[in-house]
Chains A and B, each alone.
Chain A
Amino acid sequence: MKTNEMLLYAIGEADPRYIPDLTQKKAAFPLKRWAAVGGGIAAALLIGFVALRIGGLRVPVGTETPADHTPDMSDWSPEDSWENGPSEEQDPAVGLPKITAELTTGDMGFEGYMAYSVDELENGNPWRGIPADTEALPVYENLLYSEHADPVLYETEEELRGAAETAAERLGMTVLSLEVRTMGEIRGTEYTERPAGASAECEGDFGAATVYVSNAGMIRTQFSDPLPFGSEEEKSAAMDILSAYLGYRDAVIAESGDRNIYGVRSRQYRVYEDSSDPVQKLLNYSIAVSRLYETDDGAGLGTVWKYPGIDVLKFLGDYPVIGEDEARAMLIRGEYLTTVPADTLPESGITEDRIDRVELVYRTGPRDKYIEPYFRFLVRLREGFPASAAEGLSHWGAYYVPAVRTEYLAEIPVWDGSFN
Chain B
Amino acid sequence: MEDNAIVALYWERSEEAIRESALKYGGYCSVVARNILGSREDAEECVNDTWMRAWNAIPPDRPRALAAYFASITRRLALDRWRRGRSAKAGGGRAALCLDELEECVGSNDPGEEAVVRIALKSALDRFLAGLKPEAREIFMRRYWAFSSEREIARDRGMSVEAVRMSLSRTRKLLKETLEKEGIGI
Contact B62 A339 (CB under 8 A): yes
CA distance A218 to B15 in the complex (A): 11
Chain B nearest Cβ from A272, distance in angstroms: 17
Q: Which of A276-303 contact B (CB under 8 A)?
A: 291, 293-296, 302-303
A380 contacts B by Cβ under 8 Å: no
Supposing A19-B72, A42-B64, A108-B61 touch, asked if A7 and B4 sit within 8 A by C-beta, the answer is no
Contact B145 A4 (CB under 8 A): no
Most buried by A among B15, B68, B108: B15
Supposing A5-B99, A16-B65 touch, asked if A10 and B122 sit within 8 A by C-beta, the answer is yes
Set B5, B79, B98: member contacting A220, Cβ < 8 A: B5
A110 contacts B by Cβ under 8 Å: yes
Set B1, B31, B66, B121: member contacting A6, Cβ < 8 A: B121
Supposing A366-B13, A387-B130 touch, asked if A6 and B118 sit within 8 A by C-beta, the answer is yes
Inter-chain contacts of A216 with B (CB < 8 A): 12-14
Contact A295 B67 (CB under 8 A): no
Set B7, B75, B76, B99: member contacting A4, Cβ < 8 A: B99
Supposing A7-B121, A188-B48, A196-B16 touch, asked if A26 and B156 sit within 8 A by C-beta, the answer is yes
Contact A21 B67 (CB under 8 A): yes
Contact B59 A108 (CB under 8 A): no
Set A10, A28, A45, A188: member contacting B8, Cβ < 8 A: A45
CA distance A295 to B2 in the complex (A): 6
Set A9, A28, A45: member contacting B11, Cβ < 8 A: A45
Inter-chain contacts of A39 with B (CB < 8 A): 64
Interface string of A1-16 (1 = CB under 8 A from B): 1111111111111111
The stretch among A30-38, A167-175, A310-318 that forms the contact with chain B is: A30-38
Inter-chain contacts of A9 with B (CB < 8 A): 76, 79, 118
CA distance A18 to B143 in the complex (A): 12
CA distance A37 to B34 in the complex (A): 26
CA distance A111 to B11 in the complex (A): 14
Main secondary structure of the interface of B (DSSP, over half): helix
Interface string of B135-160 (1 = CB under 8 A from A): 10110011011101000000111100
A186 contacts B by Cβ under 8 Å: yes
CA distance A134 to B108 in the complex (A): 65
Residue ID in chain B nearest A365 by CB atoms? B59
CA distance A305 to B2 in the complex (A): 13
CA distance A107 to B60 in the complex (A): 8
Chain B nearest Cβ from A372, distance in angstroms: 18
B19 contacts A by Cβ under 8 Å: yes
CA distance A23 to B30 in the complex (A): 11
Contact A218 B12 (CB under 8 A): yes
Contact B16 A8 (CB under 8 A): no
Inter-chain contacts of B134 with A (CB < 8 A): 28-29
Chain A nearest Cβ from B90, distance in angstroms: 18
Inter-chain contacts of B166 with A (CB < 8 A): none
Contact A37 B3 (CB under 8 A): yes
Contact A366 B68 (CB under 8 A): no
Most buried by B among A18, A196, A291: A18
Chain B nearest Cβ from A59, distance in angstroms: 21
Supposing A8-B102, A151-B13 touch, asked if A293 and B108 sit within 8 A by C-beta, the answer is no
The 8 tightest CB contacts between A and B, nearest first, are: A16-B68, A214-B14, A106-B61, A196-B15, A109-B62, A104-B60, A106-B60, A186-B15
Further contacts, 16 of them, CB under 8 A, given A15-B129, A108-B69: A2-B110, A3-B108, A4-B108, A6-B117, A7-B105, A9-B79, A10-B125, A12-B76, A23-B28, A31-B138, A44-B7, A49-B12, A107-B57, A196-B16, A199-B16, A214-B12
12 inter-chain pairs at a CB distance below 8 angstroms, sorted by A residue, are A16-B72, A18-B138, A21-B67, A36-B65, A45-B62, A104-B59, A151-B13, A183-B15, A186-B19, A212-B14, A293-B4, A303-B5
Binding site for B on A (CB under 8 A): 1-23, 25-29, 31, 33-42, 44-45, 48-49, 104-111, 150-151, 181, 183, 186-188, 196-197, 199, 212, 214-216, 218, 220, 222, 266, 268, 291, 293-296, 302-303, 305, 339, 365-367, 387-388
